[in-house]
């Protein structure tokens, strides 16, 4: 029997991790693994999913590898499937094996779809020479032969208070592109040496160095996307379904469209995830009892969409939509077009800008809209001000409380009760460094090159106070991105898209509607064009409802195609 060996020359042995809540079974698995693989692999044993995840995080921090994960299906608190699903985020190429009893083979079949399971083993596996080692030999040989070289990182050289430097880092982070940040300061730093080697000066920042070593001076999002491997060009010019916007509603529509056999393309102007993608922790989304970050949820949805052959186009700005016979045609800002039988509008909303004097010119220089996880470590031991009283602001406050000395939540209303979920309100009292200032507004800001002070006003007493501040994150209002739809589909007075029953007049059909049937529930005033998520008038502004509407819209797309 030939045992798969890891790459020669590596300084540390890769690990094989086994987790089972039954101590006797756990010891037996580890014993059999050490007997066969102990010379070439480090065998790590855990007795709960949480313990195993902690071990994986330590291995990750040490920069070591994990070759295989063996998890028992029936564990309390966290099942083997749930453990493997979370472990995928830490070691996505590790081979995954589920240990099951004969009665649990249905669970193993489920795991094949949920966690891309590589194999399942029935307990007991005696003798291991026949039932355990041959399976692991094949899996370890496959793992050893795979290309596991560290991902070559993009390098970003810039200044902390450069607005474009922040935008580039935020763009890369939200598109899951690995990068390393080199900050220019007043000392003889590595960033200056890299900048000189790239042939540029500080006037050119940010400078991005691609994994191939090519420097890009202050690149546009489109140029950056093309150079770091993101897809920007469609493979064909006609689809069954075009989904515009890759927030939760758009990702939900793309996954369901692709899974049901529709030729689907997902078009996003910036990065997948929308506002939810920037959330540090979502704790009321079904199926994640311990919470999930917006980044994790977005990445899983993106992988799921790609699994169903959905094309994903980044940095493509849609500027118009029009019917041409039975086709629906979208035009991009570069003049190119894309056609489909149907379109789903899932463009979401954006945060409104603060109109206080002095803040406009400081955007990206201490004043930010939405939360960027890239800025958390930069706020260490400083005060952070957040404006807003909804869930997004509460989630950001919890995130920044782990880094900042003090987090101040500035709320215009007299309480959080009507705007924030109860679980978040309760959590805000936990860290001890979060302060909620009610009945307060930001009425001014100032600074030389970056934010240095804020002026706050109590809206009942009228008293104003100026405080030192370098960080302000705003989460106010919801402005729909629908100006480009003017005259194309019906919208309400605030720009949100009307659909279904909201379009029906006293006569039973919308004005100008050419079909005999009324619009479907999520169908806009242009037949074959549907809307889902926050951009729909009177929608529920929650991640779960947006995903549900995306899925529902695909069902209505099918109905439309069947009757067209």
The structural domains of the chain, ordered by start, are 15-145 (3.40.50.2300), 154-227 (3.40.30.10), 238-350+479-563 (3.50.50.60), 360-474 (3.50.50.60)
pLDDT tens digit string along 31-71? Answer: 999 999 999 999 999 999 999 999 998 888 787 899 999 99
522 has pLDDT over 90: yes
Phi, psi of 51 (to 5 degrees): -65, -40
pLDDT at 242 (0 to 100): 98
The 10s digit of each residue's pLDDT in 116-143 is: 788 888 877 788 898 899 999 999 999 9
Phi, psi of 443 (to 5 degrees): -115, 5
Which pLDDT belongs to residue 101?
75
pLDDT tens figures, 419-462 = 999 999 999 999 999 999 999 999 999 999 999 999 999 999 99
| Per-residue model confidence (pLDDT) at position 110 | 59
The H or E element spanning position 400 is helix 391-400
User: Which pLDDT value is given to residue 4?
Assistant: 54
Nearest CA to 288 out of 279, 280, 297, 301 is that of: 297
Q: What is the pLDDT of residue 314?
A: 96
Q: Are 215 and 200 in contact (CB under 8 A)?
A: yes
Q: Is the separation of the CB atoms in 321 and 488 below 8 Å?
A: yes
Between residues 77 and 385, which one has the greater pLDDT? 385
Instruction: State the DSSP string of 2-71.
Output: PPP-PPTT-SS--EEEEE-SSHHHHHHHHHHHHHHHTTTSEEEEESSHHHHHHHHHHHHHTT--EEEEEE
Which of 146 and 271 is assigned the larger pLDDT? 271
Determine the pLDDT at residue 438: 96
Q: What is the per-residue pLDDT for 370?
A: 83
What residues pair up with 343 in beta bridges, in sequence order? Answer: 242, 529
Average pLDDT over residues 194-199: 85
Question: What is the Cα–Cα distance from 1 to 454, expressed in whole angstroms?
Answer: 71
Average confidence score pLDDT of the chain: 89
CA distance 251 to 248: 5
Q: Summarize the confidence of residues 347-362 as an average pLDDT.
A: 92
The mean-pLDDT minimum among 146-155, 204-213, 349-358 falls in 146-155
User: What proportion of the chain, given as a percentage, has pLDDT over 90?
Assistant: 64
Q: What is the mean pLDDT of residues 172-177?
A: 89
What pLDDT score was predicted for residue 1?
41
User: How many whole angstroms separate alpha carbon 11 and alpha carbon 39?
Assistant: 14
Over pLDDT 70: what percentage of the chain?
93
Q: What band does 149 get if pLDDT is binned at 50, 70 and 90? A: low
Question: Does residue 401 surpass a pLDDT of 90?
Answer: yes
- pLDDT for the residue numbered 9: 42
The DSSP bridge partners found for residue 195 are none
Q: Evaluate whether 488 touches 477 at the Cβ level (below 8 Å).
A: no
Q: What is the pLDDT of residue 10?
A: 45
Question: For strand 42-46 and strand 95-100, is the pairing parallel, antiparallel, or unpaired?
Answer: unpaired
Q: Does 350 or 245 have the greater pLDDT score?
A: 245
Instruction: For residue 8, name the pLDDT band (cuts at 50, 70, 90).
Output: very low
Q: Are 556 and 534 in contact (CB under 8 A)?
A: no
Structure confidence by residue, pLDDT tens digits, 285-332: 888 887 888 888 998 999 999 999 999 999 999 999 999 999 999 999
What angle do helix axes 105-115 and 80-90 make, rounded to 10 degrees?
Answer: 20
- Average confidence (pLDDT) over 194-223: 91
How far is the CA of 440 from the CAs of 250, 324, 410, 415, in angstroms? 35, 51, 6, 11
């Amino acid at each position: 029997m030939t045992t798969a060996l890891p790459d020669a020359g590596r300084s540390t042995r890769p690990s094989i991790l086994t987790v089972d809540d039954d101590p006797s079974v756990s010891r037996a698995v580890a014993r059999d693994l050490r007997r066969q693989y102990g010379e070439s692999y480090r065998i790590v044993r855990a007795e709960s999913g949480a313990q195993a995840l902690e071990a994986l995080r330590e291995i990750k921090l040490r920069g070591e590898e994990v070759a295989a994960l063996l998890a028992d299906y029936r564990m309390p608190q966290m099942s083997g499937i749930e453990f493997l699903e979370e472990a995928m985020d830490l070691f996505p190429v590790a081979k995954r094996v589920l240990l099951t009893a004969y009665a649990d083979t249905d669970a193993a079949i489920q795991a094949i779809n949920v966690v891309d399971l590589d194999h399942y083993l029935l307990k007991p596996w005696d003798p291991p020479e026949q039932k355990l080692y041959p399976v692991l030999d094949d899996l370890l040989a496959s793992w050893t032969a795979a290309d596991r070289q560290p991902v070559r990182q993009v390098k970003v050289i810039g200044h902390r208070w450069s607005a474009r430097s922040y935008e580039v880092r935020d763009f890369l982070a939200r598109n899951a592109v690995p990068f390393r940040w080199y900050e220019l300061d007043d000392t003889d730093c590595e960033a200056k040496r890299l900048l000189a080697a790239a042939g540029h000066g500080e006037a050119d920042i940010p400078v991005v160095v691609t994994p191939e070593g090519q420097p890009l001076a202050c690149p546009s999002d489109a140029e950056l996307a093309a150079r770091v491997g993101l897809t920007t060009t469609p493979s064909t010019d006609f689809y069954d379904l075009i989904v515009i916007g890759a927030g939760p509603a758009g990702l939900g529509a793309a996954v369901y469209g692709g899974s049901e056999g529709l030729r689907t393309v997902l078009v996003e102007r910036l990065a997948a995830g929308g506002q939810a993608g920037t959330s540090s922790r979502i704790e009321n989304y079904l199926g994640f009892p311990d919470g999930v970050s917006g980044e994790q949820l977005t990445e899983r949805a993106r992988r799921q969409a790609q699994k169903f052959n959905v094309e994903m186009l980044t940095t493509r700005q849609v500027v118009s939509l029009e019917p041409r016979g039975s086709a629906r045609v979208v035009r991009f800002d570069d003049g190119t077009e894309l056609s489909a039988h149907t379109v789903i509008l899932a463009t979401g909303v954006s945060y409104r800008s603060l109109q206080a004097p002095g803040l406009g010119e400081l955007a990206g220089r201490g004043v930010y809209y939405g939360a960027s996880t890239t800025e958390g470590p930069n706020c260490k031991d400083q005060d952070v001000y957040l404006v807003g009283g909804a869930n997004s602001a509460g989630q950001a406050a919890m995130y920044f409380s782990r880094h900042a000395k003090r987090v101040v939540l500035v709320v215009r209303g007299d309480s959080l009760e009507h705007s924030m979920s109860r679980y978040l309100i309760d959590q805000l009292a936990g860290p001890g460094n979060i302060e909620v200032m009610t009945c307060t507004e930001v009425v001014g800001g100032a600074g030389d090159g970056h934010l240095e002070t804020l002026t706050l006003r109590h809206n009942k007493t009228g008293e104003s106070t100026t405080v030192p501040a370098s960080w302000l994150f705003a989460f106010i209002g919801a402005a729909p991105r629908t100006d480009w739809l003017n005259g194309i589909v019906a919208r309400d007075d605030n720009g949100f898209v009307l659909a279904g029953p909201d379009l029906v007049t006293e006569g039973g059909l919308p004005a100008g509607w050419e079909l005999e049937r009324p619009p479907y529930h999520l169908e806009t005033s242009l037949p074959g064009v549907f809307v889902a998520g926050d951009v729909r008038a009177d929608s529920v502004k929650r991640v779960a409802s947006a995903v549900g509407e995306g899925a529902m819209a695909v069902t209505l797309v099918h109905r439309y195609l069947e009757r067209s």
